[in-house]
């Protein structure tokens, strides 16, 4: 089995719910499985530390998770139209992988959750692609052959999967949002399989 890393940060659970659907899509491809990982919150108090294993949810990511994976799905809540600081903080620790071009040629995709429909899903998705392009990763979006993209009135973009969580961040994923997450996971896993063949 080859692993696709589903690496995400989620404060209130919406991005985590998307990660679960993307993982399901990955698991639908023969020989591929999802490895779910998260990152700890960052603190303004630099002495603050987290346990090395979170109390609940996915384990924290390490550089080896990135090194080992056949592909990457990167997910973050939208914060001021951009990815959340904890995820960016982790990405900023990947210089050694960049120096060795260890992620170059691996497929990648991105996903995000917002509280408002026009609150920056696309800007977040596009800006999340930037460090992955520096790493030489091959970015995948969602094609319009996934016809949910034509009709969605919640999340769903050609740049990656997205979710409209509402102002209290408590709206469940719609059926269309779930289908698009699974389609993105499948597409990523299929691309990784073809690239390694
Ligand atoms: C500091 C901060 C900035 C945010 N900025 C935006 C924003 O620009 N646009 C938006 O629609 N939602 C914004 N939100 C809301 C989150 O994107 C939204 O609640 C998201 O669904 C949370 O995902 P999570 O449940 O995975 O933590 C922001 C939330 C916080 C805490």
Residue 50 banded pLDDT, cuts 50, 70, 90 = confident
Q: Which atom of ligand 1 is nearest to the CA of 120?
A: 9
Q: Are 160 and 125 in contact (CB under 8 A)?
A: yes
Model pLDDT for residues 159-196, shown as the tens digit of each residue: 999 999 999 989 999 999 999 999 999 999 999 999 99
* Residue 71 CB–ligand 1 contact under 6 Å: no
Distance CA 49, CA 126 (A): 31
Range in 16-30, 36-50, 62-76, 183-197 the model is least confident about: 36-50
Ligand 1 pocket residue status of 115, Cβ below 6 Å: yes
pLDDT of 52 over the 90 cut: no
* Structure tokens belonging to residue 43: 């603190």
Distance 114 CA to ligand 1 centre (A): 5
- Report the chain's mean pLDDT, rounded to a whole number: 96
> In this predicted structure, what is the pLDDT of residue 53?
85
Whole-number Å distance between alpha carbons of 98 and 165: 34
122 Cβ below 6 A of ligand 1: no
**pLDDT at residue 19 above 90?**
yes
Mean pLDDT confidence for 136-155: 97
């Amino acid at each position: 089995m080859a692993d696709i890393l589903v690496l995400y940060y989620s404060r209130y659970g919406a991005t985590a719910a998307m990660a679960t659907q993307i993982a399901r899509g990955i698991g639908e491809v023969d020989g591929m499985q999802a490895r779910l990982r998260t990152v700890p919150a960052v603190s303004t108090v630099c002495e603050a530390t987290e346990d090395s294993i979170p109390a609940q949810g996915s384990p924290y990511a390490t550089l080896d998770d990135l090194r080992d994976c056949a592909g990457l799905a990167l997910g973050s809540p939208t914060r001021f139209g951009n990815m959340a600081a904890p995820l960016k903080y982790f990405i900023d620790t990947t210089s050694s992988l960049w120096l060795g071009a260890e992620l170059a040629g691996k497929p990648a995709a991105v996903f995000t959750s917002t509280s408002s429909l026009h609150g920056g899903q696309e800007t977040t998705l596009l800006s999340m692609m930037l460090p992955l392009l520096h790493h030489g990763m091959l970015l995948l979006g969602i094609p319009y052959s996934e016809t949910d993209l034509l009709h969605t009135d919640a999340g769903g973009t050609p740049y990656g999967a997205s979710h409209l969580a509402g102002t209290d961040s408590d709206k469940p994923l719609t059926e269309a949002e779930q289908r698009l997450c699974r389609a993105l996971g499948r597409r990523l896993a299929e691309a990784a399989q073809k690239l390694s063949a």
